[in-house]
């Protein structure tokens, strides 16, 4: 093989390999990290209620619920009532505690940490300590005369 042809072939191979390994990868081929946190959970929820005339009282509820991927429209009925235009739906999950209880739609990172969200009479934060254990709180709900906060622990139900 001629030296000029060998050089051209080598340069072409370097160019092709550079192109393959340097281009942005197609995102849909990457596994969605939120799926590991989805499933059926048993929840222990402590509700702290307060009123100006009677003080604070607590109630503990044991219930079942589900963690699933966020779906458009979930934020229309969750506890957060303000505009959510800055939220990245590809990072959100929906946590539903069954019954008359609240649900939230937080953004989570790859380590299971919730992005804290605060608004008018609302704040939530939390984390998955691992894919089977969840802790979060929703605080500041209410108004001038009274309100409530939720402190929730969740454990994945065995299959």
pLDDT, tens digit, for every residue of 3-12?
A: 777 776 776 7
Task: Please return the burial class of 159, using the count of CB atoms within 10 Å of its CB with bins 0-12, 13-18 and 19+.
Answer: exposed
- Enter the pTM of the model: 0.69
Query: In sequence order, what E strands does 8-156 have?
Result: 39-51, 55-69, 93-97, 103-104, 117-119, 122-130, 133-142, 146-156
- pLDDT tens by residue, the chain, 159 residues: 677 777 767 767 776 666 666 665 555 556 788 899 999 999 999 999 999 999 999 999 998 888 888 877 766 666 555 555 555 556 666 666 655 666 778 888 889 998 887 777 778 899 999 999 999 998 888 888 899 899 999 999 987
Strand partners, 30: none
Nearest to 100 by CA among 45, 36, 24: 45
Show the domains of the chain with their CATH numbers: 33-156 (2.40.160)
């Amino acid at each position: 093989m001629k030296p000029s042809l060998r050089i051209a072939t080598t340069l072409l191979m370097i160019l092709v390999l550079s192109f393959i390994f340097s281009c942005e990868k197609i995102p849909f081929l990457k596994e969605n990290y939120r799926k590991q946190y989805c499933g059926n959970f048993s929840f222990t929820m402590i509700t702290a209620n307060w009123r100006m005339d009677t003080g604070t009282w607590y109630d503990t509820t044991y219930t079942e619920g589900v963690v699933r991927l966020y779906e458009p429209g979930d934020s229309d009925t969750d506890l957060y009532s303000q505009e959510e235009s800055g939220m990245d739906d590809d990072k959100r999950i929906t946590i539903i505690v069954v019954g008359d209880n609240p649900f939230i739609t937080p953004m989570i990172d790859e380590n299971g940490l919730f992005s804290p969200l605060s608004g008018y009479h609302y704040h939530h934060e939390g984390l998955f300590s691992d894919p089977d254990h969840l802790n979060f709180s929703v605080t500041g709900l209410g108004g001038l005369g009274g309100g409530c906060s939720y402190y929730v622990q969740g454990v994945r139900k065995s299959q």
